[in-house]
Amino acid sequence: MDGNGRWAKKRFLPRIAGHKRGVEVVRDMVKECATLGVEYLTLFAFSSENWRRPQEEVSFLMGLFMEALKHEVGKLHQNNIRLIMIGDRSRFDAALCAQIDEAERTTAANTGLVLTIAANYGGRWDLMQAMNRMQLAHPELTGRFEETDLTPYLSMHYAPEPDLFIRTGGEERISNFLLWQLAYSELYFTDTLWPDFNHKAFSQAIKSYQNRERRFGRTSEQLTGEQDNGQAKHA
Ligand code: IPE
Ligand code: MG
C-alpha cells in the first residue's frame, strides 16, 4: 500500500492525512475481498525499514494501528474475518502488543477471510527467523534442510502462496515483502496512489490477473484443460 504521502502532498495536506485516508481504503478493500470470496488478503502496512521515517510520522502510524485495532476488531469479528499480524513485534510497545494479541485471539476461530497485516515485517527478517527456529528444532539436520523443513517456520505458514501481488503508488519493486512466497505470484503494479485505490482499481487488477497464464515452469500446451477458473484466492 504505497502513495499515502504523495496523495496528501498533492492536496497540500500533511503526510499523516494520507495515512488516515489510507486506513479508510483498507476498510473498503477488506469489505470488498470478503464480498468477492477472496480467502486471504495480506496487507503490507509497515516495513522494517519504515522506522527510518521522521519520529513524528512513526508515532502517528503506531497510533493509527492502535486505533484501528480497537475500533475495527469488533466489526471484523462480526463478519467472520480472522485477523493475524505478522512481523517483528519486539519494537512495539506493550499496549500495542496486548491489543494485537487480543485481536488475534478474538478472531482466531473465524472461518471467513483471513486478513493478515504485515507490520514491522521484512521478507529477509522472516527468512532468518524461520531458519533460526528450524535449526533450533532440528539440530541433527545441520546442512541437510529441504524447502518443506523451512516452510512451517515462515510467518505465513498458515496460508497458500499469494496468487496476486498488487503494489500501488507507481514503484515497481517488491521492497522486501513476502520474498519466499512471491516466487510464482502474479505481480501487478499501478500508478494509483493507495488513498485513491477503490473498487474499480481493484477490478482492473483482478482482470489483469485473470488474463495471465500461470505456468509454474510448465509449457502452455501442458496446461490445456487444467486451468482453474482464474479466481484469485490470495491477494
Ligand atoms: C505508504 O505510503 C504507507 C506506509 C508505508 C505506512 P507512503 O507513506 O510510503 O507514501 P509515499 O510513498 O510517501 O507517497
Ligand atoms: Mg512510499
Q: Is the CB of 169 under 6 A from ligand 1?
A: yes
pLDDT over 90 (residue 154)? yes
Residue 4 burial class via C-beta count within 10 angstroms: exposed 0-12, middle 13-18, buried 19 and up: buried
Taking the CA of 16 as reference, the closest ligand is 1
**Residue 232, pLDDT score:** 73
Measured by CA distance, the residue closest to atom 9 of ligand 1 is: 2
Work out whether the CA dihedral 12, 15, 17, 19 comes out positive or negative. positive
DSSP state of 210: H
- Grid cell at residue 138: 532440528
**Residue 229, pLDDT score:** 57
Domain count, the chain: 1
Q: At what angle do helices 94-107 and 55-78 cross, to 10 degrees?
A: 20
Distance CA 190, CA 52 (A): 25
Please report which confidence band the pLDDT of residue 228 belongs to, taking 50, 70 and 90 as the band edges: low
- Grid cell at residue 116: 493478515
* Cα(171) to centroid(ligand 2), Å: 8
**Phi, psi (degrees; rounded to nearest 5) at 21:** -65, -35
Residue 230 lies in a domain: no
Distance CA 15, CA 197 (A): 17
- Grid cell at residue 8: 496528501
Active site includes 228? no
Query: What is the extent of the structural domain holding 80?
Result: 4-136+148-211
Strand ranges inside the chain, DSSP E = 40-47, 82-86, 114-121, 164-167, 186-189
Taking the CA of 118 as reference, the closest ligand is 1
pLDDT over 90 (residue 125)? yes
Taking the CA of 120 as reference, the closest ligand is 1
Please report which confidence band the pLDDT of residue 235 belongs to, taking 50, 70 and 90 as the band edges: confident
Q: What is the DSSP string of 128-168?
A: HHHHHHHHHH-GGGTT---HHHHGGGSTTTTSPPPSEEEE-
**Residue 133, pLDDT score:** 97
Residue 43 lies in a domain: yes
Residue 223 lies in a domain: no
Pick the atom of ligand 1 nearest to 22's CA.
Answer: 3
**Residue 47, pLDDT score:** 94
**Phi, psi (degrees; rounded to nearest 5) at 195:** -65, -15
Please state, rounded to an integer, the average pLDDT across all residues of the chain.
Answer: 94
**Residue 214, pLDDT score:** 80
Residue 62 lies in a domain: yes
Please report which confidence band the pLDDT of residue 141 belongs to, taking 50, 70 and 90 as the band edges: confident
- Identify which of 6, 25, 65 to mutate to test ligand 1's pocket (most ligand atoms within 8 A of the CB): 6
Active site includes 126? no
* Biggest CA pair distance of the chain: 59
Residue 231 lies in a domain: no
pLDDT over 70 (residue 227)? no
Terminal Cα-to-Cα distance of the chain (whole angstroms): 12
Q: What percent of the chain has pLDDT over 90?
A: 88
Distance CA 180, CA 154 (A): 9
What's the CATH code of the domain at 75? 3.40.1180.10
Q: Which of 4, 28, 50, 191 is catalytic?
A: 50
Please report which confidence band the pLDDT of residue 181 belongs to, taking 50, 70 and 90 as the band edges: very high
Residue 233 lies in a domain: no
Pick the atom of ligand 1 nearest to 6's CA.
Answer: 14
* Cα(210) to centroid(ligand 2), Å: 27
* Cα(195) to centroid(ligand 1), Å: 10
**Residue 26, pLDDT score:** 98
Residue 220 lies in a domain: no
Q: What percent of the chain has pLDDT over 70?
A: 97
Residues 6+ apart with CB under 8 A from 222: 215
Q: Is the CB of 46 under 6 A from ligand 1?
A: yes
pLDDT over 80 (residue 230)? no
| Least confident residue range of 18-22, 50-54, 153-157, 220-224 | 220-224
pLDDT (tens digit per residue) in 17-57: 999 999 999 999 999 999 999 999 999 999 999 999 999 99
State how beta strands 82-86 and 40-47 pair: unpaired
Alpha-carbon Rg for the chain, nearest whole angstrom, is 19
Residue 106 lies in a domain: yes
